[in-house]
């Protein structure tokens, strides 16, 4: 009996890729999705990548053909994250319209100089927000406060290169510009933009929600071989003067990339 089972599973393992290929050519995949994770450079499918929707507490893995299924868990904008050892963490803001079509997600091999500061999703603000705020319906995490800060070392040779803070995804920003572009449905208020500080100096304001936002770090501010500090402060509701109302936002995948 045991032997028969082992043989049976062995057969399944061998047969599975062929079986899946046959299915993708057939009618069975219509409406099922056909989402795939591939290597951005070679287009080769990536098996065993973790695909998650952190705001939905959903996580799955790609199969041997790189395929994955989100099981129809999408309505409004939400962040989809893809992680695989040896690759840069990747995140993308998707919604039901995007998820309704097959998604091919290309991920990039990580560079030895990449420095991952934060791969989890973090919530900045005060947990007081309107349901009309950008993507507020998906907020589940408790706020860590109005700002995020982290210290890290950068190698001496970073000064000869271009260095960027890369923020994988941001949702929830309620600036005037975000409202104008209909990223939220707030009618009567808007917030100042989140601000990014490097070693105490403001280097950027983030006006819009979106993915893969790259902020150049002026090399003159970098302390090589010493501790450097990055701080991201969320904005404030500019129409609320009775008390301070921080803009509630969620950020995922903060890294330093050197090129």
Q: Residue 129 interacts with Ca ion (CB under 5 A)?
A: yes
| Nearest distance, CB of residue 125 and Ca ion, angstroms | 5
Q: How many residues bind Ca ion (CB under 5 A)?
A: 7
Closest CA to 90 of 101, 98, 82: 82
Any residues with CB less than 8 A from the CB of 241 and at least 6 apart, and which?
A: none
Q: Residue 190 interacts with Ca ion (CB under 5 A)?
A: no
Region near Ca ion per CB under 5 A, out of 118-126, 150-158, 195-203, 205-213? 118-126
For residues 139 and 11, give the distance between their C-alpha atoms in angstroms, rounded to a whole number.
44
Closer CB to Ca ion, 124 or 252, in the complex: 124
Among 16, 28, 95, 128, binds Ca ion (CB under 5 A): 128
Task: Specify burial of residue 60 (Cβ count, 10 A radius: 0-12, 13-18, 19+).
Answer: middle
**Residues 256/163, Cβ–Cβ less than 8 Å:** yes
Region near Ca ion per CB under 5 A, out of 58-66, 93-101, 121-129, 155-163? 121-129
For residues 238 to 257, the per-residue mask of contacts with Ca ion, x marking binding by CB under 5 A and - elsewhere, is: -------xx-x---------
Q: Residue 95 interacts with Ca ion (CB under 5 A)?
A: no
CB atoms within 10 A of CB 35: 20
**Residues 232/196, Cβ–Cβ less than 8 Å:** yes
Closer CB to Ca ion, 162 or 239, in the complex: 239
Distances (CA, A) of 129 to 182, 184, 236, 252: 17, 12, 11, 19
| Contacting positions for Ca ion (CB under 5 A) | 125-126, 128-129, 245-246, 248
């Amino acid at each position: 009996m045991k032997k028969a089972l082992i043989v049976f599973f062995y057969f399944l393992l061998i047969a599975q890729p062929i079986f899946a290929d046959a299915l993708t050519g057939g009618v069975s995949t219509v409406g099922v999705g056909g989402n795939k994770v591939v290597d951005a450079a070679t287009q080769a499918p990536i098996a065993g990548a973790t695909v998650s929707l952190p705001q939905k507490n959903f996580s799955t893995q790609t199969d041997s053909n790189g395929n994955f299924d989100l099981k129809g868990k999408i309505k409004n904008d939400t962040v989809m994250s893809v992680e695989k050892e040896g690759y840069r963490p990747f995140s993308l803001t998707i919604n039901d319209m995007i998820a309704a079509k097959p998604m091919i997600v290309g991920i990039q091999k990580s560079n030895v100089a990449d420095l991952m500061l934060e791969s989890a999703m973090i919530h900045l603000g005060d947990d007081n927000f309107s349901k009309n705020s950008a993507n507020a319906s998906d907020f589940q995490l408790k706020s860590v406060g109005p700002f995020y800060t982290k210290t890290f070392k950068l190698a001496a040779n970073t000064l000869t290169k271009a260095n960027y803070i890369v923020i994988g995804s941001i949702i929830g920003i309620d600036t005037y510009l975000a409202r104008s572009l209909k990223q939220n449905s707030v009618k009567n208020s808007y917030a100042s933009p989140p601000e990014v500080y490097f070693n105490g100096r403001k280097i950027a304001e983030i006006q819009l929600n979106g993915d893969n936002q790259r902020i150049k770090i002026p090399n003159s501010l970098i302390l090589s071989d010493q501790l450097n500090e990055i701080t991201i402060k969320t904005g404030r509701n500019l129409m609320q003067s009775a008390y301070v109302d921080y803009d509630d936002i969620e950020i995922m995948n903060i890294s330093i990339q050197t090129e």
